[in-house]
A and B are shown apart, each in its own frame.
Chain A
Amino acid sequence: MTRRIDCDVAIIGGGLVGSSSALALRGMGFTVTLLDKGFCGAQASGVNYGGVRRQGRPPEQLSLSQRSHAIWPRLQQLIGIDGEFLRSGHLKLARSAADLASLEQYAADVAPFGLDLELVGHNQLSERFGIGGDVVGGSFCPGDGHANPRLVATAFAAAARRAGAEVLENTKVLGATRLSGGFALEAEGLGVTARIVINSAGAWADSFASVFGEPVPLERTYPSMIVTEPLDPFLGVNIGIEGGGIYARQVTRGNVVVGGERAAPLDDPDYSRPRSDGVLTIMQRASELFGPLRHAQAIRFWSGTEATMPDRNPVIGPSATTPGLFHAFGFSGAGFQIAPGVGEVLAELVRDGETSTPIAPFAITRFSPASQPGDASQAAMTTGSKETSP
């Protein structure tokens, strides 16, 4: 027996983008169905590093990032929990004079956005932050921080459900078709018709985009993370390094989360697992950078599946082929902080057809400059296969 749902907006993918969109749309009075092939917040939104960071983003992301920045301290009112959000500050370290110069250049470039970046010299690093090792300086962003990724998206989905959204987990969308007045989505034992569809399917979003005539060069990446046993507090800030390689934060409970390197997908590419040589490298680097980690134990590794675009910017905005379809995916390993703002932007797009936040650089058309809006009413798809995108 097939269940039928008719709603204003159907959202494919219950990550942080889809869940926060669902909540924002409910707040505007739309009827919403949120579909996830597994559990909401269980993929990249839930297994990322947990950095809530504006510093280091390209300037074109900063208006959106600032919008999100205003949401994070309000999580308690918005979703009923604070998500363990800590406004700890984010400290980006430089290992060479050239890296420090590039941090200085960045600070100058983004000055108009008001991140209040502060350049910190070598001595200050050890005095203020207890950072030793082979670093020459850093750039401190006091308003940034970190949060528990396992909680935030899950809580957005739960809040959306409490606000009246139909949240359907373990419900894989098998087919999507454009109809005259909207869309028809099919899942096992379920048919959803909706006026609007939001494609926030993360690493699985490319298949939905391409069925509506908008193929995108999405690639899957797998970050690799380790977490230590709880330690006495020694790391009060979220740490990154110019040029990458390692990032680290200490949660209130005392565990230190350290990321870096890449994991590898399993036979089922929906799942991945850190590689031994990768985690050995991260552990070695971390114990060199942070004295207290020299005698610490790693208790767990994890990884996730993320969607990365070639220019490291997400796809956000209306479809160019299909009226009523909106995309928001491809956050390239930096979606956690920005996603709650994207949820608000998508809700505005649905309601008003436009948004107060500049999103032009994230248009899907940047990957297909020749493509023209066309009649996609015949578009239909089947997404049962497990093939990965090229």
Chain B
Amino acid sequence: MAERAPPLIVGAGPAGIRAAMTLVAAGLRPIVIDEGYACGGQIYRQPLSPDGRDAQARYGSEAAKATRLQRDFAALGAQVDYRPNTLLWNLRDASADSLRDGVSQRILHDGLILATGATDRVLPLPGWTLPGVFTLGGAQIALKAQGCAIGKRVVFAGSGPLLYLVAWQYMKAGVEVAAVLDAAPLSAKLHLLRALPLAPDIVLRGLRMAAELALHGTQVQLGVSGLRIEGEGRVARIVYQTGGRRHAIACDGIGYGLNLRSETQAADLAGCAFRFDPRDRAHLPVRDSSGRSSVAGVYLAGDGARIAGADAAELAGERAALALLEDRGLPHAPARAASLERRLVRIGRLRDALEAAFPFPAHWGADIADDTLLCRCEDISAGDARRAIGHFSLTDVNRLKAVTRIGMGRCQGRMCGAAAAELLAAQTGRDIGAVGRLRAQAPIKPIPLAMSLSVDERQHDPAH
């Protein structure tokens, strides 16, 4: 009897770790590849080297969860084929191409769980590429994993629960947080009342953070717009509007982000069907309540499939692994699966309320000034994009990419794709869901031309 290839899990964050544990418990030995140098994902990212801080100092209220997750994964030991520092650069059928230490290796797998996580979503602002401007997630990782701050006097701006969390973490770390500039108006925050009965601890913790920031002298502004970052060669101040009045705050570091965006290129290369998701304002891979995608043997879990946060990711990772076991004809704990799905539905309702309380400022797309850099990899301004849309009568974001190079550079649209779609939709008067989505192309991230090939790669039948 031919031995089946092992399942492959992409990502060692909360979803990937719980998926791996579930498969190991069923007697399988999955391969886990992860770009990170240590497990935990971005949310529970570990330090590069011991820095004297304990988990409480590093992860705050989430310390217990982080510690448990990291410990559980470490306890799997050799029961998983864990490959850190490993980039997935292509996927096709039952084969994945990975890159580690300059060596490309093909991984043949049977069952694929994609737990690829999320990154910050941004819309370009005047000055957003000045040194000293970070994404909210980037600012948090600097503090969490490297023990350093993005500035001495910092401002956090944008939208999303992360906005207040990162600001509060910086304050606790002793950094002067001059302001929190929230794009959402006060009226949006009423949605927190909807979230309160679903997760009182989370909502109250968030409100307490905002209150502590204010008490600490941080200016908390709701309903800001017209953000502009100024400075000669680096950040010197941030300018914004509230109620038609302009304000400026001096600072030397800015953390900025507008909620999160799912990392979906792997699902795209795997052939998964996509559908526009109005809440996340993004095309997302289709999955059922178990995490099964439209492609047999491909499962989706965590923020890479739809933004739901770390707690949901743990549940979804386990649930997707149970689906894989079921499809493989192994014991798959149906009662446990049903319970996981119920909890995921509950978190989903909470997330809907949170997203409504921190809405994406959709009108910003129309307001991006023509001289603002839209695609920083290829150096394309918003005005360049608008001229191309008019000149070629464009209605589709892939055509916009084709004629302007927006989204064709190093980031492959991961940073600028959302902004390009918003701008195209605004200019053509279309719904954001009707301008298409950037089709993913390999490599998922840049790879060296002069890669070495692993032994089994060299021996691989070229007819494949």
Task: Spell out A's residues near B (CB within 8 Å).
Answer: 39, 41-42, 46, 80, 150-151, 154-155, 158, 161, 226-229, 253, 266-267, 273-277, 279-280, 283-284, 286-287, 293-302
Contact = CB atoms under 8 A, between A and B. Distances in A.
B92 interface: yes
B451 A297 contact: no
A286 B449 contact: yes
B442 A301 contact: yes
B429 interface: no
A46 B403 CA distance: 10
Interface in B61-100: 90, 92, 95, 97
B410 interface: yes
Contact of B402 (A150, A283, A297): A150
B393 A297 contact: no
B396 interface: yes
B448 A295 contact: yes
Given A229-B446, A280-B104, A294-B450, A300 B441 contact: yes
A42 B408 CA distance: 15
Interface of B: 90, 92, 95, 97, 104, 106, 269, 271, 378, 391-393, 396, 398-399, 402-403, 405, 408-410, 412, 441-443, 446-451, 453, 457, 460, 462, 464
Contacts of A287: 449-450
Contact of A154 (B271, B392, B446): B392
A20 to B, nearest CB: 16
Nearest to B106: A276
Contacts of B391: 80, 158
A302 B440 CA distance: 10
A301 B443 contact: yes
Contacts of A267: 271
Contact of A300 (B95, B106, B412, B460): B412
B271 A294 contact: no
B402 A46 contact: yes
Prevailing SS type, chain B contact patch: loop
Nearest to A39: B399
B240 to A, nearest CB: 34
Contact of A297 (B106, B392, B412, B446): B446
Contacts of B446: 229, 297-299
A287 B453 CA distance: 14
Contact of B399 (A42, A280, A298): A42
B92 A295 contact: no
A151 B447 CA distance: 27
Given A80-B391, A267-B271, A275 B92 contact: yes
A299 B409 contact: yes
Contact of A277 (B271, B378, B464): B464
Contacts of A276: 90, 92, 95, 97, 106, 442
Contact of A299 (B97, B402, B410): B410
Contacts of B460: 277
B449 A293 contact: yes
Given A80-B391, A297-B447, A274 B403 contact: no
Given A39-B396, A283-B451, A294-B450, A154 B442 contact: no
A163 to B, nearest CB: 14
B10 to A, nearest CB: 16
19 contacts: A39-B396, A42-B398, A80-B391, A154-B392, A154-B402, A158-B391, A276-B95, A276-B106, A277-B462, A280-B453, A283-B450, A287-B449, A294-B449, A295-B450, A296-B449, A297-B449, A299-B412, A299-B443, A300-B443
A42 B396 CA distance: 11
A375 B396 CA distance: 42
B271 A266 contact: yes
A280 B92 contact: no
A166 to B, nearest CB: 13
Contacts of A299: 408-410, 412, 443, 446
Most buried by A among B391, B396, B403, B408: B403
A253 B97 CA distance: 29
A150 B410 CA distance: 18
A16 to B, nearest CB: 14
A227 B447 CA distance: 11
Contacts of B462: 277
Minimum-distance CB pairs A-B, first 7: A297-B446, A287-B450, A150-B402, A283-B449, A287-B449, A276-B97, A299-B446
